[in-house]
Amino acid sequence: MRPVVIALRSAASLALFALFGAGAILLSPVMLVLRSPGACQRAVRVTWIPLVWLFRLTRLIRVDRGNLAPMRGTVIAANHPSLIDVVLVLALVPKTLFVAKHSLKGNPFMSAIVRHTTLPDDERLPDAAAERLADGWNVVVFPEGTRSPAAGGLGQFRRGAAHVALRAGAPLVALGIVQTPRRILGKHQWAWQMGDRPVTYSFMADAPTRERALEWETARAAARRVTCLLRERILRLVGQVSP
């Protein structure tokens, strides 16, 4: 029976990712027409919420939003264990923009969506994010820059989230994303490797803080300090260090 269940779950996962790819292609001309980040983000969210519902309906995943509350004008720094983290967070937190790595702009399925609904992953990020945060948008940054290591733990953190929060003076929230009882859709894992039972995605957010550079700190030193704090907070949230 177990091989049959695994085969059915694998087939369901592949079908949903095929649906995701088809939806992304259909959304591309919509992005070109709408152009406005707000309108484009709403169109993506309307498409992705049913996708999350289908992942749950087929019992591939469960979603526990934990203490993830509505936010506004907040920088959210999160770990990145899986391929669908962006889809899930966008479904749970309205009016949210992500920082996308450059390689996604060359992805034929995602290029138009990335160009119209994300922030630049380069030196323009702090200023671009500050403008959106002032308008009430949330900005999600994965400090690892890619999915977390396959062996577990967290990858090396980049300082983008810290620079954004410091430049904008915006609230900064650490978000831990935890998969139980096993990891799926992680680095070096295939979309069909879903196992024989649902995987629960739990979201645990820390209290928001407003970080400021100390009097004696340079901008780079302040960003380095805040990044270290973020790493400690996320590790605590995902249960890999004691509180």
Kindly report, residue by residue over 71-113, the tens digit of the pLDDT.
Answer: 999 999 999 999 999 999 999 998 899 987 766 666 666 777 7
Which among 163, 165, 172 has a CA at the least distance from the CA of 206?
172
Residue 26 confidence (pLDDT) above 90: no
Helices (H), 58-199: 85-92, 111-117, 125-134, 160-168
Residue 104 has what pLDDT?
67
Residue 175 confidence (pLDDT) above 90: yes
pLDDT tens, position by position, 53-80: 999 999 999 999 999 888 999 999 999 9
Residue 42 has what pLDDT?
86
pLDDT tens, position by position, 192-241: 999 999 999 999 999 999 999 988 889 999 999 999 999 999 999 998 65
Mean pLDDT of 124-142: 92
* CA atoms lying within 13 Å on the CB side of residue 38: 5
What domains does the chain contain, in order, with CATH numbers?
2-237 (3.40.1130)
33-47, 52-66, 173-187, 198-212, range with the lowest pLDDT: 33-47
Hey, how many other C-beta atoms are within 10 angstroms of the C-beta on 34? 17
